[in-house]
Amino acid sequence: MSTLVFWIDVDNTLLNNDHVKAELERELRAVLGAALTERFWSLYEAVRHERGVVDIPQALRRLRAERSQRELPEARFQQACDLFEQYPFATALYPGAREALAHLSQLGLTVIVSDGDHLFQAEKIVNSHLAEAVGGRVLIYDHKERHLEETMRRYPGEQYVAIDDRLDLLAACKVQLGERLTTVFVRQGRHAEEGLRQPGHYQADRSVEAIGQLCHYRATDFLPEGRPR
């Protein structure tokens, strides 16, 4: 059993997903045109609203189902699918992301715990070499905050550390585990200013401006207040 087990998010924590989405937007417009690209993102948001997580394969399936071959020839549709499957995710990692994973692996056990569909999200994590960086310890759930007990059974530890760009998710995990969990808010991506905009919002146990800053943390920095260091 490891003393520290790190649960590390992917999108906008290790990988700049906002940048990826902007690049894919431009490339989709070149392949599909403005109207079909806008329809795809509309379906993307609809699926996310229904499931609570991003599911790109499902959004693509819905686009295919509602458009005829005349409106969307199969060759163009496959070209659009290839944009997601062949995106060079390793180039979109935040500066210091690899170094942070390497450093944390010296302090405890590193596990990627991510939300998303099990196909595209898995490809993203493998193709960005993040899976390799954590020794293949990757868990993907529709809603990871609903699977904390399962996650702890898979990778038991004395103290758990959740590293994420979403305060609401960190708060949901903290409610369940209390002092057994140290929450770390990474102020990156579209949720970066959440705590600042809403003074009454949940405040994580630790907060960093960039994932690379975790390279300067010691193991004792992740222990709860009041616990011997």
- pLDDT for the residue numbered 39: 97
pLDDT above 60: residue 229: no
Check residue 192 and give its pLDDT: 64
**What is the band of 73 on the pLDDT scale with cuts at 50, 70, 90?**
very high
pLDDT over threshold 70, residue 20? yes
pTM for the structure as a whole = 0.89
Give residue 196's pLDDT.
56
Asked whether residue 163 carries a pLDDT value surpassing 90, the answer given is yes
Span between the terminal Cα atoms of the chain, in Å: 19
CA distance 49 to 52: 5
Question: CA nearest 127: which of 211, 14, 51, 26?
Answer: 14
Residues 31-65 have pLDDT tens digits of 999 999 999 999 999 998 898 888 899 999 999 99
For residue 54, the model assigns a pLDDT of 83
Q: pLDDT category, 83, cuts 50, 70, 90?
A: very high
Return the minimum-mean-pLDDT range out of 29-33, 121-125, 179-183: 121-125
Band of residue 226 on the pLDDT scale cut at 50, 70, 90: very low
CB burial of 157-179 (b: ≥16 within 10 Å; e: otherwise) equals bebbbbbbbbbebbbbbbeeeee
The mean per-residue pLDDT over the stretch 147-152 comes to 97
Residue 200 confidence (pLDDT): 63
Between residues 205 and 51, the one the model is more confident about: 205
Which residue matches tokens 């004792």? Answer: 220
